[in-house]
């Protein structure tokens, strides 16, 4: 059994199509306004007028697809008063709805906005890494749906050996906060974590 399953995300390959997000909503039968996986758009840059009247620009935009990162230091589990959040041997972090009291403290704490409140049940919900598919040896819905193969799932140590250990880029939080099980491959325009060069362009979608 794997020690820590993790997502890998390739910034260069993502076109921002949100097939991952929609596949996730479909698989878990989520309402339209609940997104366990979301695609953040980070953009910025400006135009400068040159002496000769021509323009130079450094405008950029890229996407970061994020779900729950099944962190090594899951702050949601740390703060949950009801002990409703557990981490399996393979690293998957799960919320037990039967134990959840719906206090939404994990929602305040998680810097990835992974735990989301389900108005119908009054309890929290989040990405399960499609634990039923994983246990059946299949890929999670988001990974399987990505048309440009920007997402992968695998053992964290293997993903790191293959792609490096970057786990923080703008607009994500610093990895030291929760030690997310995630590997990111940046593209040429990807800004470092805490950069002020751009802004989250679609806050209403994440």
Which one of residues 88, 111, 186, 187 is an interface residue with other proteins (CB under 8 A)? 111
Candidate ranges 2-10, 76-84, 131-139, 152-160; the one touching other proteins (CB under 8 A): 76-84
Chain center to CA of 137? 22
Q: Is 197 among the residues that bind other proteins (CB under 8 A)?
A: no
For the record, the structure tokens of 172 come out as 């994500």
Q: How many residues bind other proteins (CB under 8 A)?
A: 42
CA angle, 149 then 153 then 158, to 5° = 110
Nearer to other proteins by Cβ, of 105 and 133: the residue is 105
Q: Least distance (Å) from other proteins to the CB of residue 95?
A: 12
Q: Is 105 among the residues that bind other proteins (CB under 8 A)?
A: yes
Nearer to other proteins by Cβ, of 117 and 133: the residue is 117
Which one of residues 26, 78, 158, 165 is an interface residue with other proteins (CB under 8 A)? 78
Q: Least distance (Å) from other proteins to the CB of residue 170?
A: 10
For the record, the structure tokens of 1 come out as 């059994």
Q: Is 62 among the residues that bind other proteins (CB under 8 A)?
A: no
- Which of 106, 111, 142 is closest to 124 using CA atoms? 106
Which one of residues 14, 20, 23, 40 is an interface residue with other proteins (CB under 8 A)? 40
For the record, the structure tokens of 29 come out as 């039968």
Q: Is 83 among the residues that bind other proteins (CB under 8 A)?
A: yes
Q: Which of residues 162-191 bind other proteins (CB under 8 A)?
A: 171-174, 177-178
CA dihedral 71, 73, 75, 78 (to 10 degrees): 130
Q: Is 17 among the residues that bind other proteins (CB under 8 A)?
A: no
Q: How far is CA 170 from CA 77, 87, 179, 190, 201, in A?
A: 25, 27, 16, 7, 12
Q: Is 108 among the residues that bind other proteins (CB under 8 A)?
A: yes
Residues 6+ apart with CB under 8 A from 136: none
DSSP string, 47-62: EEE-TTS-EEE--EEE
Candidate ranges 11-19, 122-130, 137-145, 153-161; the one touching other proteins (CB under 8 A): 122-130
Which one of residues 68, 75, 94, 143 is an interface residue with other proteins (CB under 8 A)? 75
CA angle, 192 then 195 then 200, to 5° = 105
């Amino acid at each position: 059994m794997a020690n820590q399953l993790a997502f890998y995300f390739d910034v260069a390959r993502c076109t921002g199509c949100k097939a991952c997000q929609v596949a996730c909503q479909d698989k878990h039968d989520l309402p339209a306004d609940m997104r366990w996986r979301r695609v953040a758009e980070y953009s910025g840059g400006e135009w400068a007028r040159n002496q000769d009247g021509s323009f130079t620009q450094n405008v950029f935009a890229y996407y970061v697809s994020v779900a729950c990162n099944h962190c090594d230091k899951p702050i949601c589990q740390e703060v949950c008063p009801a002990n409703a959040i557990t981490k399996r041997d393979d690293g998957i972090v799960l919320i037990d709805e039967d134990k959840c009291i719906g206090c939404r403290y994990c929602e305040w704490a998680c810097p990835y906005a992974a735990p989301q409140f389900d108005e119908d049940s009054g309890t929290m919900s989040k990405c399960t890494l499609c634990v039923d598919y994983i246990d059946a040896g299949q890929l999670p819905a988001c990974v399987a749906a990505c048309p440009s193969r920007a997402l992968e799932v695998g053992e964290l140590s293997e993903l790191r050996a293959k792609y490096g250990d970057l786990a923080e880029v703008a607009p994500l939080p610093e990895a030291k906060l929760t030690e997310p099980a995630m590997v990111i491959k940046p593209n040429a325009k990807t800004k470092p974590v805490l950069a002020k060069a751009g802004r989250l362009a679609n806050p209403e979608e994440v």
